[in-house]
Amino acid sequence: MKARSLTRRLTEGLVPALPYLWLGVLFLVPFLIVLKISLSDTAVAQPPYAPVVEWSDVAGFFGGLDLENFQLLVEDDLYLLATLSSVRIAALSTVLLLLVGFPIAYGMARAPERYRSLLVALVILPFWTSFLIRIYAWVAILKPEGLLTQGLMSLGLISEPLNILNTETAVYIGIVYAYLPFMVLPLYATLEKMDDTLLEAALDLGSTPWRSFWTITVPLAMPGIMAGSLLCFIPAVGEFVIPDLLGGSETLMIGRQLWSEFFSNRDWPLASAVAILLLIILVVPIVVYRDVEARRVESGS
Amino acid sequence: MTRRLSLFNVTSLVLGFAFLYLPILLLMVYSFNASRLVTVWGGFSTQWYGALFRNEALMEAAWVTLRIALLSASLATILGTLAALALTRYGRFFGRTLFTGMVYAPMVMPEVITGLSLLLFFVAIGLDRGFWTITLAHTTLTMCFVTVVVQSRLMTFDRSLEEAAMDLGAPPLRTFFAVTLPLIAPSIVAGFLLAFTLSLDDLVIASFNTGPGATTLPIRIYSQVRLGLSPEVNAASTILIGIVTLGVMTATLVSKRSLLRSRRNIQ
């Protein structure tokens, strides 16, 4: 009897222990290693950094750390500019996503009930399609002799080819396109539950539709607006594929900078320092997002 | 209570869905282009599909990608389901806050950071980069998505069924397999499909953790795209989109039918 309860307790203990251990080893530890390497020097030997941990030499481990890489990040304008422009591009994209996504989510929430699940499925479907393929599709559309230019020229709207590819505009288009489902779905989830009688009451009491939109719909949709905006803003700051394929050489973004430090310059300590910098920028939005999301899941919506 | 669609609502829906679908449709149409120039229509042809299947590098990459996706999605489904059970059924346990943090953070963390940190970890422990490092990396990322999907199902379901089984003397493990598992099965399937697609799709994390002989399809497509547009990539994309669309539609139909059946059973 006693042995059986012991096995039972062991199996029960494994349920949290397995995923806990997995994430601890493959998420937390790697993360600490990045922190450590960002504080170490580039070594000439391969792999290109000084040893991670000399287990026998604890004092040397802490003694060898310095802020050289971070000093470089502060001194070189490039990283500051890349950081600022990543945050700017991500913030502006999030605003554009709200402007594009809100009317779609609102239309979905007002559609007859029998069509709603179909509309939701249609928003989700592109998300299942490869991200890379969806961005690739825009290269053919936006390039100078591309499909957009051809279409507008045949309509007689423009006479000169448009030069959108390899500009920041193309990056905005790409981010809005790729992240639209992440904005529309949380917005739809809150708008769908909204009580219409509130709007009717406001109209009956003489409020204009515009005013009732701002004083009723927007505040009630706030949880969706927050979740959608964070869900788009956070990954957009660290985006690599979109600025690389659609943006020009002058489109500075921090994720792209990390990639080139790592793959082109092979400076792993500096790449790690850039990763830490990126994380410092994102730590507040990530924590806020985690709270918003945990509350949303626990409220069962 | 009736909701009426205004002209504005209809317009925004039509424009919104056109924006979402036109680029993909154009990409698919131009995979049947006879011309090598991707953006100039030169008549209908299926030659790029033939060229695709003769492209050994691309086929090899597709095979590697498929194996990694199947393996990592299976591991992620097991780990994610366990994590979801831990978060919903265990109340407070030691380090719960840290655990929740570790589940939610990888989902929003920029891929470049996840990719880089895992690579540095693999180098530090001396694991050769390749098939296994990508599989481990993908499992870590996708198990978090599985957790959230399964967790939201566990939150909403009726605990009294489990309690009834326990009251009738079923041990916890047996209760889990006889009652809980069948009830959360659709969300586990959904979690697996999500993990599978995410792994299939990933470029950034795979690029950091790849090694000799482990070039995945996104890595191959990316390097080809950087050299310029190629109709073969259009053809490969069309096939991928076709498979995914079919899979999603089947999954939707299956879950709808099982929902109808369970409703009928209740009545």
Q: Where are the domains of chain A?
A: 72-298
Confidence bin at B2 (pLDDT 50/70/90): very low
Dist. CA A137–CA B218, nearest whole Å = 14
What percent of chain B lies above the pLDDT cut of 70? 93
Q: Say what the pLDDT of residue A109 is.
A: 92
Dist. CA B83–CA B144, nearest whole Å = 8
In chain A, which residue's Cα lies nearest the Cα of B2?
Answer: A112
In chain B, which residue's Cα lies nearest the Cα of A47?
Answer: B123
CB B191 within 8 A of CB B145: yes
CB B53 within 8 A of CB A159: no
Tell me which residues of chain B, numbers 165 to 224, contact chain A at a CB-CB cutoff of 8 Å.
171-173, 197, 200-201, 203-204, 207-208, 218, 221-222
Q: B240 to each of A124, A132, A298, how far by Cα in Å?
A: 16, 12, 35
**List of chain A residues whose C-beta atoms are within 8 Å of the C-beta of residue B221:** 132-133, 136
Q: Find how far residue A156's CA is from the centre of its chain.
A: 38
φ/ψ of B26, rounded to 5, equals -60, -45
**List of chain B residues whose C-beta atoms are within 8 Å of the C-beta of residue A123:** 20
Q: Say what the pLDDT of residue A49 is.
A: 55
Dist. CA B78–CA A19, nearest whole Å = 9
**List of chain B residues whose C-beta atoms are within 8 Å of the C-beta of residue A139:** 225, 229
Dist. CA B107–CA B109, nearest whole Å = 6
> Dihedral, CA atoms, A203, A209, A215, A221, nearest 10 degrees?
110
Confidence bin at B46 (pLDDT 50/70/90): confident
Cβ of B86 and A15 within 8 Å?
yes
Residue A81's nearest CA partner among A254, A260, A236 is A254
pLDDT in single tens digits along all 301 residues of chain A: 445 567 777 777 788 889 999 999 999 999 888 888 888 765 533 455 555 454 444 445 555 566 777 777 777 778 888 889 999 999 999 999 999 999 999 999 988 888 888 899 889 888 878 888 899 899 989 988 788 888 888 888 888 888 888 889 999 999 999 999 999 999 999 998 888 888 888 888 888 888 888 888 898 889 899 999 998 999 899 899 999 999 988 888 999 888 988 888 888 888 888 888 888 888 888 888 877 777 766 665 4
Q: A145 to each of A132, A153, A173, B37, B234, how far by Cα in Å?
A: 21, 10, 18, 11, 18
Q: Any idea which fold A72-298 has?
A: MetI-like fold (1.10.3720)
Q: Say what the pLDDT of residue B77 is.
A: 96
Q: Say what the pLDDT of residue A54 is.
A: 47
| Closest partner CB to B9 (pick from A30, A47, A107) | A107
State the average pLDDT over residues B100-112. 85
Cβ of B24 and A126 within 8 Å?
yes
**List of chain B residues whose C-beta atoms are within 8 Å of the C-beta of residue A53:** 124
Class in CATH terms, B54-266: mainly alpha
In chain B, which residue's Cα lies nearest the Cα of A138?
Answer: B23
**List of chain B residues whose C-beta atoms are within 8 Å of the C-beta of residue A196:** 1, 3
> B194 Cβ partners below 8 Å, 6+ apart?
B142, B145, B146, B149
Mean pLDDT of chain B: 86
**In Å, how far is B163's CA from the nearest CA of chain A?**
17
> A79 Cβ partners below 8 Å, 6+ apart?
A73, A254, A257, A274, A277
Which contacts of A228-231 are long-range, i.e. CB under 8 A and separated by 24 or more positions?
A228/A97, A228/A98, A228/A101, A228/A182, A228/A183, A228/A184, A228/A185, A228/A186, A228/A187, A229/A94, A229/A97, A229/A98, A229/A183, A230/A285, A230/A288, A230/A289, A230/A292, A230/B108, A231/A179, A231/A182, A231/A183, A231/A186, A231/A289, A231/B108
**List of chain A residues whose C-beta atoms are within 8 Å of the C-beta of residue B173:** 8, 11
Residue B167 has pLDDT above 70, yes or no: yes
Dist. CA A246–CA A168, nearest whole Å = 8
Domain boundaries, chain B: 54-266
**List of chain A residues whose C-beta atoms are within 8 Å of the C-beta of residue B103:** 19, 23
Q: Say what the pLDDT of residue A2 is.
A: 47
Q: Say what the pLDDT of residue B244 is.
A: 79
Q: Say what the pLDDT of residue A233 is.
A: 93
Dist. CA A300–CA A147, nearest whole Å = 44
Dist. CA B155–CA B247, nearest whole Å = 27
Beta-carbon-side half-sphere exposure of residue A91 (alpha carbons within 13 Å): 9
Cβ of B112 and A111 within 8 Å?
no
Cβ of B229 and A140 within 8 Å?
yes
Cβ of B200 and A130 within 8 Å?
yes
| Closest partner CB to A19 (pick from B8, B79, B248) | B79
Residue A19's nearest CA partner among B91, B138, B82, B88 is B82
In chain A, which residue's Cα lies nearest the Cα of B199?
Answer: A130
Residue B139 has pLDDT above 70, yes or no: yes
The most confident of the ranges A179-188, B174-183, B246-255 is A179-188
Confidence bin at B264 (pLDDT 50/70/90): low
Cβ of B233 and A278 within 8 Å?
no
**List of chain A residues whose C-beta atoms are within 8 Å of the C-beta of residue B198:** none
**In Å, how far is B45's CA from the nearest CA of chain A?**
19
**List of chain B residues whose C-beta atoms are within 8 Å of the C-beta of residue A24:** 102
**List of chain B residues whose C-beta atoms are within 8 Å of the C-beta of residue A151:** none
End-to-end CA distance of chain A: 43
Q: Does B42 touch chain A (CB under 8 A)?
A: no
Give pTM, 2 decimals: 0.85
Tell me which residues of chain B, numbers 104 to 163, contact chain A at a CB-CB cutoff of 8 Å.
104-106, 108-113, 116-118, 120-121, 123-124, 136-137, 139-140, 143, 147-148, 151-152, 155-156
Cβ of B20 and A126 within 8 Å?
yes
Q: Find how far residue A33's CA is from the centre of its chain.
A: 23
Q: Say what the pLDDT of residue B147 is.
A: 94
Cβ of A272 and B26 within 8 Å?
no
Beta-carbon contacts below 8 Å between A and B: 261
Beta-carbon-side half-sphere exposure of residue B44 (alpha carbons within 13 Å): 0
